[in-house]
Amino acid sequence: MEERQHLETTPLRTPLWARLFAPVDIASLVCFRIAFGVLMMVEVGRYIPRIARYYIDPPFNFTYYGFEWVKAWPGDWMYVHFGVLGLAALCITIGLCYRLAAAVFFVGFSYMFLLEQARYLNHIYLLCLIAFLMIFVPAHRAFSVDAWLRPKLRSGTVPAWALWLIRLQIGIPYFYGGIAKLNHDWLHGEPMRMWLAKRADDSLLGPLMTQEWVVYFFSYGGLLFDLLIVPAMLWRRTRPFAFVAALGFHFINGSVFTIGIFPWVMAAATLMFFPPGWPRGLRDLIGRTLRLPVAEPARAAPRPPLPSRPTRKQKYLLAFLAAYTSWQLLFPLRHWLYPGDVAWTEEGHKFSWRMKLRDKDGSAVLYATDPATGDTWKVDLRSRVKRWQLSEMTGRPEMILELAHRVGAQLEAEGIPDVEIRAHAWTSLNGRPKQLLIDPEVDLMKVERSLFPASWIRPEAPLDPAVEARLSEM
């Protein structure tokens, strides 16, 4: 039986680095490891029936900038890949070869995520980040096969940084998601109004979904929840109320919107904000309620003397924590480096926790021009990409550019050198009238993918009526 320790709170006057390495109860981290592993097995199982649709059948997958080299396994090897992911998730759950399993799952799950940009979801990105952190977090020192096989590994404590690292990663999407909602459309009920109206017929609430007070309840409720849930969970007095609110929020999200296991992952992660020994307290409470024998609490182990400075290993770990935290805090802000509305241009939108903020509807048509003859014709896109990819592409300039390069390369291979590709992409943002997203005069074959602001993306502004009429007839 693993040693149980009740540890005193680290004094506030203690240096920050020493507080990060102070031992805390491992119980909550073990519960999170098990919950994460189980939910990842469920997530992998959800993908298996869709493997062919997303990764085998499409003749072309949209890639992320800098990751164009990531390609799907040939043939049926994608099924093997997901089988390995399921096995790695199982090993994380039971704590068998834990660090290796966490590394395999992180690499394999991130690979799956990078295969198709049209399948981008914030919660998949978050799962990749959590899987990465689980490699370093020693969540296998208790209640695991590894601890059973290697007694020297067993411990009832972990350094405090392990808990705070997970808390930080869970808190960042909430905070940035709330900040992103402080925009004109969200504060006026869009796109929530459209989303609820679409689900009115499928929901038990029915007509309530179209009531204005319901629209603003969801809009402002989501905004306040994202901004306040983390500080409310950190404060002991508000923590019970915040936890109930979190469960209700995620239950409603899971019921109203189709967002997979994300609500359940976040609900489980919210438990990390309770004192680290809460699972033991819950176990003892159940034992007393059922009048079962309950072990007497062990006396707190004497705290070792505080070293005057961190060791070399601790310095390396502190450097990693500082670098990772800085990246997570700064990278979501990069959209401020681009002109225009990020919801329209999409520049800096991904990986920034701008979750469920905009609704885009539109169409995109590519026109090819043979410079030798001057002939121009409409490209048949449905023979080159799948319908679900086209649906996601129409409002995403970067994806339109990548497809234009793909089509141009194919036409050049078919004997049309120096072919020109132009796009007529009409997009509606949050229910507003459709506008041109991309300059239709620009030859996209001459535009390279870049992290710099794209001059070929048109700002969201009214067109000249004569030009708009001419282009809409094409």
pLDDT for 469 equals 53
What digits encode the pLDDT tens for the residues 147-190?
999 999 999 999 999 999 999 999 999 999 999 999 999 999 99
pLDDT for 378 equals 96
pLDDT for 206 equals 65
SS3 432: coil
Mean pLDDT of 380-398: 92
Best CA proximity match to 31, nearest among 287, 301, 273: 273
pLDDT for 8 equals 43
**What are 365's two structure tokens?**
């048509």
Confidence of residue 254 (pLDDT cuts 50, 70, 90): confident
Contact 443, 422 (CB under 8 A): yes
**Which residue is associated with the tokens 């999200």?**
253
- Amino acid sitting at position 294: V
In 35-161, DSSP assigns E strands to 157-159
**Which residue is associated with the tokens 């319908």?**
387
What digits encode the pLDDT tens for the residues 68-89?
999 999 989 999 999 999 999 9
**What are 239's two structure tokens?**
């923590």
Q: What span, in angstroms and rounded, lies between the C-alpha atoms of 259 and 257?
A: 6
**What are 321's two structure tokens?**
């924590």
Contact 191, 215 (CB under 8 A): no
Contact 280, 25 (CB under 8 A): yes
Q: What span, in angstroms and rounded, lies between the C-alpha atoms of 268 and 116?
A: 28
pLDDT for 21 equals 93
**Which residue is associated with the tokens 């009048």?**
291
Contact 142, 155 (CB under 8 A): yes
What digits encode the pLDDT tens for the residues 348-378?
999 999 988 889 999 999 999 999 999 999 9
What digits encode the pLDDT tens for the residues 411-438?
999 999 999 999 999 999 999 999 999 9
Which alpha helices (DSSP H) does 331-442 contain, by range?
342-345, 387-393, 397-413
**What are 197's two structure tokens?**
């109206």
Mean pLDDT of the chain: 89
Best CA proximity match to 105, nearest among 79, 129, 78, 74: 129
Q: What span, in angstroms and rounded, lies between the C-alpha atoms of 406 and 390?
A: 14
Q: What span, in angstroms and rounded, lies between the C-alpha atoms of 66 and 449?
A: 9
pLDDT for 2 equals 37
Predicted confidence (pLDDT) at residue 9 exceeds the cutoff of 70: no
**What are 351's two structure tokens?**
């990986």
